């Protein structure tokens, strides 16, 4: 709690973004002067050619920060055109009234920043500047990001630290700040955590009165898993309709990396479409099968070898240093796993690129699917081996582990004399649900925070030492650029830190929750208190993830999405496997492994699968009937809109007389409520009214931005000496 409560209200001077919409971080370390200057001039030319205003300041080391602002009229036109496109593709149902020159106010910071993102990154043929970080001619552009809103982030985090559950207004505030893609993750973890209240209470009851491996507890747990996944699918649809993003994937533009075979004209829209052969792509996607096989063999072999070595040392070996050698398998596994995972991740990235997906969403989904396979193997295989190999059949396996004939054990040990501790599975599940969750939180939130603070202190100390030991001999204009103005110093410090922060990957957080759900579905029956531990963890996890997003990572572009992606299919798979695993664990462990009949075990698994299919169908049908009002309201809304068009089409007012959306009609990212205006609320650029500091920041003439950047490149390059004067220098 101290970590969150210390995140208090920031000073006003630290929250003002000075009218900056976007920031491009250009790193010219190691480049020749001529190449760096040419690339920077091209960067500024492309941005200004796209009707964007620019300013430049120096970053850390040999780098520059290019600040971008979109003129309000141009941005308003882009917002209106985006809404018209939504209507054409059936995403939105209300036709935006106006023409190509209509200027519309954005309803949230995310909508405004999304248009800015399009203006910066879209290809020139679509009206953008074509600046794609770390790709093509912009491989030295290390980041192109929007800036955080510290005041809104601090207010949300303070509010959440005093509440147990999120409200719909909280989710709307996340959507208003970060877009639907991030909002769907927080909606999912909130829904999942809310559902955990029942299994947590039921787990306490089962632990006190039913004990582990109870048939009643198993049935209730499986039923809960099915209900949760089916409910989330409906909740996901409801949110996509509420946020007007259902089917938004049809709007996504081509990736810059996309390679097409031919261009065809759409017979309906008349637009030119770039097409890649579906046959070729299918053949490339089939490479996923050998990749999954190799990944399974590589990770599986490592896990099985570590597991066998651990069992050998703990159960078979009685030689010297046994106490210390018991830690050897864990150490070897921990050292080997990152290397193998990194290699497989690089192979997965290359494979996903080779599959040549048209949109970034399709690319992300394909990469997430491959990552899910690796997470499944590394997260669940060790516990699966414990539950279904070591404990049931350990007495038969142990004699064969004496591969080195230590003390001749394989010839003298009778399998009937070997006693396997059946509580090992429960101990492992307890460790995963309590210790591992705490360690993951520390690794994900606390350690990066401490590292960032220490790195910043070291950087400040080094810069002060270098400043005191070097005297700058540059022109007056260059000295003005190298020295931060007092009113800009705190702002520029924050921007430099954000530009070098880690990228936020929402898919990683979703996968983390999917893995946690997998532990509960697959092995929760072993220890009924697992949901209680996960519930306590998720209260911290939700706030910790927002803390990480708002303070430790770059602000992601407000990308729209209508689901949590392939993780939903992963949840369905884990639910099915969870029902089978639960049935097998109850059969094996309920009577203490006294009688294990393979035929009866397979029959129990088969009955569990049939029961899963029947219950899933019944739950799906029942929830659909209970929530049919959502679809009815959506249909009624569409009908009402079209009826209104039919009645008033001939009486449409002039588009120039259409009232603009004012901020009091927007989603508030401060109070997390709608239609309420407080003194602390501001629009993204509300500070333009008399904000002299912002005006001074943008007072440099636009035509001097490129020249100012060139002076900074020469000055910074001559001080740090990483920039070469000429070829071979």
- Is the pLDDT at 675 greater than 70, yes or no? no
Mean pLDDT for 160-185 is 91
Q: What integer pLDDT is reported at residue 180 of this predicted model? A: 93
604 or 264, greater pLDDT? 604
466 or 319, greater pLDDT? 319
Mean pLDDT for 609-617 is 94
Q: What integer pLDDT is reported at residue 332 of this predicted model? A: 74
Q: What integer pLDDT is reported at residue 343 of this predicted model? A: 80
**Tokens 């048939």 -> residue:** 215
Query: How confident is residue 661, by pLDDT bands cut at 50, 70 and 90?
Result: very low
For 26, 87, 458, the CA distances from 246, given in Å and listed in that order, are 36, 12, 47
Structure token digits, residue 176 = 């208003």
- Please list the alpha-helical segments (H only) found in 390-549: 391-397, 409-412, 424-430, 436-441, 447-469, 476-482, 486-499, 506-523, 530-547
Q: What integer pLDDT is reported at residue 12 of this predicted model? A: 55
Determine the Cα–Cα distance for residues 281 and 264; give it in Å rounded to an integer.
Answer: 18
Nearest in space to 160 (alpha carbons), one of 127, 193, 129: 193
CA dihedral angle for residue 91, residue 270, residue 277, residue 256, rounded to 10 degrees: -70
234 or 326, greater pLDDT? 234
**Most confident stretch, 191-200, 417-426, 628-637, 668-677:** 191-200
Query: How confident is residue 6, by pLDDT bands cut at 50, 70 and 90?
Result: very low
Determine the Cα–Cα distance for residues 355 and 358; give it in Å rounded to an integer.
Answer: 10
Q: What integer pLDDT is reported at residue 1 of this predicted model? A: 46
- % of residues, the chain, pLDDT over 90: 25
Determine the Cα–Cα distance for residues 629 and 635; give it in Å rounded to an integer.
Answer: 10
Determine the Cα–Cα distance for residues 343 and 621; give it in Å rounded to an integer.
Answer: 44
Each domain of the chain, given as residue ranges in start order, spans 23-147, 148-248+505-650
Q: What integer pLDDT is reported at residue 720 of this predicted model? A: 56
Q: What integer pLDDT is reported at residue 650 of this predicted model? A: 47
pLDDT tens across 439-465, in order? 777 777 777 777 777 777 777 776 666
C-alpha gyration radius of the chain: 29
Q: What integer pLDDT is reported at residue 231 of this predicted model? A: 94
Nearest in space to 16 (alpha carbons), one of 600, 694, 706: 694
Say whether 14 sits in a helix, a strand or coil.
helix
482 or 670, greater pLDDT? 482
Determine the Cα–Cα distance for residues 22 and 13; give it in Å rounded to an integer.
Answer: 19
For 26, 27, 148, the CA distances from 23, given in Å and listed in that order, are 10, 13, 11
Say whether 66 sits in a helix, a strand or coil.
strand
Query: How confident is residue 85, by pLDDT bands cut at 50, 70 and 90?
Result: confident
Determine the Cα–Cα distance for residues 200 and 531; give it in Å rounded to an integer.
Answer: 5
> Residue 51: left (phi > 0), alpha (psi -120 to 50), or beta?
left
pLDDT tens across 249-262, in order? 877 777 878 888 77
Burial 308-342 (b: 16+ CB within 10 A, else e): bbbbbbebbbeeeeeeebeeebeeebeeeeeebbe
Q: What integer pLDDT is reported at residue 655 of this predicted model? A: 46
Mean pLDDT for 213-240 is 93
pLDDT tens across 523-561, in order? 999 889 999 989 988 998 898 899 989 988 999 999 898
**Tokens 């699966």 -> residue:** 384
Determine the Cα–Cα distance for residues 552 and 548; give it in Å rounded to an integer.
Answer: 5
Q: What integer pLDDT is reported at residue 456 of this predicted model? A: 74
Helix 360-385, helix 288-311: angle, nearest 10 = 30
CB atoms within 10 A of CB 50: 19
Beta strand 272-275 with 262-265 is antiparallel
30 or 200, greater pLDDT? 200
Q: What integer pLDDT is reported at residue 698 of this predicted model? A: 77
Instruction: Give the H/E segment covering residue 184.
Output: helix 180-195
Determine the Cα–Cα distance for residues 240 and 630; give it in Å rounded to an integer.
Answer: 11
Determine the Cα–Cα distance for residues 330 and 497; give it in Å rounded to an integer.
Answer: 36
Query: How confident is residue 232, by pLDDT bands cut at 50, 70 and 90?
Result: very high
Nearest in space to 598 (alpha carbons), one of 430, 454, 455, 392: 392
- Is the pLDDT at 92 greater than 70, yes or no? yes
User: CB-hemisphere CA count at 13 Å for 245?
Assistant: 22
Structure token digits, residue 365 = 């989904």
Nearest in space to 213 (alpha carbons), one of 613, 618, 604, 609: 604
Mean pLDDT for 694-720 is 73
Asked if 303 and 381 count as a contact pair (C-beta separation under 8 A), the reply is: yes
pLDDT tens across 264-289, in order? 877 766 677 778 888 888 888 888 88
Mean pLDDT for 376-404 is 73
Nearest in space to 203 (alpha carbons), one of 189, 231, 226, 224: 224
- Is the pLDDT at 318 greater than 70, yes or no? yes
**Tokens 């559902």 -> residue:** 195
Structure token digits, residue 611 = 């029961």
CB atoms within 10 A of CB 234: 16
- Please list the alpha-helical segments (H only) found in 312-359: 322-325, 328-355
pLDDT tens across 117-130, in order? 999 998 888 888 88
Determine the Cα–Cα distance for residues 546 and 550; give it in Å rounded to an integer.
Answer: 6
pLDDT tens across 199-222, in order? 999 999 999 988 888 899 999 999
For 175, 229, 498, 504, 619, the CA distances from 181, given in Å and listed in that order, are 8, 19, 20, 12, 27
Determine the Cα–Cα distance for residues 676 and 61; give it in Å rounded to an integer.
Answer: 44
Q: What integer pLDDT is reported at residue 416 of this predicted model? A: 52
Lowest mean pLDDT among 59-68, 132-141, 630-639: 630-639
**Tokens 């490149």 -> residue:** 713
When the pLDDT of each residue in the chain is averaged and rounded to a whole number, the result is 79
Q: Is the dihedral of CA 590, 595, 596, 599 positive or negative?
A: negative
């Amino acid at each position: 709690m101290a970590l969150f409560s210390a995140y208090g209200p920031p000073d006003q001077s630290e929250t003002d973004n000075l009218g900056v919409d976007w920031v491009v971080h250009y790193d010219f370390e190691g480049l020749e002067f001529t190449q760096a200057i040419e690339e920077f001039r091209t960067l500024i030319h492309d941005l200004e050619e796209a009707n964007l205003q620019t300013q430049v300041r120096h970053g850390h080391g040999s780098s520059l920060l290019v600040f971008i602002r979109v003129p309000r009229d141009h941005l308003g036109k882009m917002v209106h055109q985006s809404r018209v496109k939504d209507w054409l593709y059936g995403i939105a149902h209300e036709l935006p009234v106006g023409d190509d020159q209509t200027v519309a106010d954005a309803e949230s910071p995310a909508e405004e920043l999304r248009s800015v993102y399009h203006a910066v990154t879209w290809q020139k043929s679509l009206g953008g500047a074509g600046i794609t970080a770390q790709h093509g001619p912009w491989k030295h552009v290390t980041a192109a990001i929007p800036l955080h809103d510290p005041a809104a982030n601090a207010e949300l985090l303070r509010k959440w630290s005093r509440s147990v559950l999120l409200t719909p207004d909280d989710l709307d505030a996340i959507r208003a700040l970060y877009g639907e893609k991030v909002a769907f993750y927080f909606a999912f973890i909130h829904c999942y955590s809310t559902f955990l209240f029942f299994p947590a209470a039921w787990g306490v009851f089962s632990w006190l009165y039913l004990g582990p491996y109870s048939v009643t507890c198993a049935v209730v747990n499986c039923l809960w898993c099915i209900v949760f996944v089916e409910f989330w699918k409906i909740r996901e649809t409801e949110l996509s309709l509420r946020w007007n993003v259902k089917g938004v994937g049809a709007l996504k533009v081509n990736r810059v990396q996309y390679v097409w075979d031919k261009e065809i004209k759409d017979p309906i829209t008349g637009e030119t479409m770039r097409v890649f052969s579906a046959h070729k792509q299918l053949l490339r996607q089939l490479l996923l099968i050998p990749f999954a096989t190799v990944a399974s063999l590589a990770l599986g072999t490592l896990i099985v070898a570590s597991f066998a070595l651990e069992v050998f040392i703990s159960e078979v070996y009685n030689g010297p240093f046994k106490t210390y050698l018991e830690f050897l398998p864990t150490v070897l596994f921990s050292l080997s796993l990152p290397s193998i995972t990194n290699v497989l991740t690089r192979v997965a990235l290359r494979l996903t690129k080779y599959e040549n997906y048209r949109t970034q969403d399709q690319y992300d989904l394909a990469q997430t699917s491959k990552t899910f396979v690796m997470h499944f193997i590394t997260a669940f295989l060790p516990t699966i081996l414990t539950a279904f190999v070591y404990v049931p059949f350990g007495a038969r396996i142990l004699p064969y582990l004496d591969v080195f004939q230590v003390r001749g054990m394989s010839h003298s040990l009778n399998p009937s004399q070997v006693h396997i501790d059946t509580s090992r599975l429960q101990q492992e599940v307890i460790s995963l649900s309590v210790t591992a969750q705490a360690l993951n939180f520390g690794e994900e939130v606390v350690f990066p925070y401490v590292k960032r603070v220490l790195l910043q202190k070291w950087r400040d100390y080094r810069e002060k030492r270098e400043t005191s030991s070097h005297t700058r001999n540059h022109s007056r204009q260059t000295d003005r650029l190298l020295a931060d103005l007092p009113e800009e110093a705190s702002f520029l410090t924050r921007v430099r830190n954000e530009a070098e922060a880690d990228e936020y990957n929402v898919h990683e957080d979703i996968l983390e929750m999917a893995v946690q759900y997998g532990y509960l579905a697959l092995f929760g029956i072993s220890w009924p208190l697992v949901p209680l531990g996960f519930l306590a963890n998720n209260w911290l996890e939700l706030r910790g993830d927002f803390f990480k997003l708002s303070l430790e990572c770059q602000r992601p572009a407000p990308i729209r999405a209508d689901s949590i992606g392939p993780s939903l299919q992963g949840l369905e798979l884990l639910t099915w496997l969870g029902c089978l695993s639960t049935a097998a664990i109850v059969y094996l462990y309920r009577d203490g492994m006294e009688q294990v009949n393979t035929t009866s075990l397979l029959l129990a698994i088969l009955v569990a699968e049939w029961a899963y299919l029947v219950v899933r169908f019944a739950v799906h049908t029942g929830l659909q009937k209970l929530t049919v009002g959502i679809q009815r309201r959506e249909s009624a809304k569409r009908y009402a809109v079209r009826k209104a068009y039919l009645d008033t089409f001939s009486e449409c007012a002039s588009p120039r007389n259409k009232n603009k959306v004012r901020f009091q009609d927007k989603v508030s990212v401060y109070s997390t409520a709608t239609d309420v205006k407080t003194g602390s609320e501001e629009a993204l650029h509300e500070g333009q009214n008399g904000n002299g500091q912002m005006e001074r920041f943008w007072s440099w003439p636009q035509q001097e931005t490129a020249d100012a950047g060139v002076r900074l490149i020469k000055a910074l390059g001559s001080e740090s000496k990483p920039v070469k004067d000429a070829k071979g220098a």
